Amino acid sequence: MLKKLVYSCFIVILISASLKGQRHEIGVQLGTSNLVGDIGRTNYIFQKPVLSNLADYGIPIYGAVLYRMNFNPYQTVRLNIGYSNIQFIDALAKEKYRRDRKLWGTNSVIEADLIFEYNFFPVNDEQKSLLSPYVFGGFGGLLVNTPQMTIENDFRRDAGGNAIAPNNSSDFTTTASYTSSGKKLTMAIPFGIGLKYKFNYNWALFGEFMFRPTFSDSIDYSVIDTKNVKETFNKDIVVSGTTKSLLQESPYKEIAEARAAEILKNRQIGNINSKDWVNTVSLGLSYSFGRPPCYCEQ
């Protein structure tokens, strides 16, 4: 999906370059991103970063390149491709229960956003300088790290390490391990406000607050998606005439499923119906080029 989005926007750029009356901007952005989820602080912007332990937390940085196509002095379509490193640390939260819980983590986010901007003043017109606030909204895709879990069902063993055929539910074990090495693509709805200052005809400085409610609740690893759970059954003892583990037969299979469901439930943190937000505060610099737009009335 992310590749299709980037490819579609690239085609739009190529087509627009051949049309008269269009103006283009390319630029860069630099700032900081933060997460609003079930772990860490809950304020939407200006979260206090941790800079003392970069080996664990990294720098909560945001960087992006962008392209703007200005349809008229007020309206713009923009493509952003960016990267964020986000921190979520319970020790910095205002809520006491979070500080006492002491969970923390980081995530890397690669994003592509297609955004519509509306400027309140004709900042994209032909003038030497102008200042204008703007609002924007659109849709985007995020590629993030996501937790993966392996649930292992195994027989109990004798002193020699040999599997013991189970007689009841206590005669086999169910354990879980997980990592954050998986990747997940999720959608987001970026929107926000900004201020753009055009100077020297072609250059512009801008700053903005971007909010991204996502469609995922696992960016802070607080929930593990079912599709990222792998369940295994030891096959030291198999069902007669098959290669299937005895633990995959009733009544052990049902017991293993109930244990797996309980493990996932206990692993969940916070409100599973509340999705994560990835928000950004940034400054940018852009350069306009190409044929000036034809804004005259016919």
Q: pLDDT digit string (tens) for 18-66?
A: 433 348 899 999 999 999 999 989 888 888 888 777 878 888 899 999 9
> For position 276, what pLDDT does the model report?
94
The beta strands (E) that lie in the chain are given as 23-36, 62-70, 75-89, 104-119, 130-155, 172-188, 191-199, 203-211, 229-233, 277-289
> For position 78, what pLDDT does the model report?
96
Cα 38 to Cα 81, 146, 272, 275, distances in angstroms: 26, 15, 9, 9
Q: pLDDT digit string (tens) for 100-128?
A: 998 888 999 999 999 999 999 998 887 78
Residue ranges of the chain with pLDDT lower than 70?
Answer: 1-22, 291-298
d(CA 172, CA 168): 8
Go through the domains of the chain in sequence order and give each one's CATH number. 2-146+180-225+274-289 (2.40.160.20)
> For position 117, what pLDDT does the model report?
97
> For position 3, what pLDDT does the model report?
52
125, HSE (Cβ side, Cα atoms, 13 Å): 13
- Contact present, 179 and 148 (Cβ < 8 Å): yes
Q: Which long-range contacts (CB under 8 A, 24 or more apart) does 237-245 make?
A: 237/155, 237/163, 237/165, 245/153
> For position 178, what pLDDT does the model report?
81
Tokens of 191: 């929107």
- Contact present, 90 and 110 (Cβ < 8 Å): no
d(CA 184, CA 272): 17
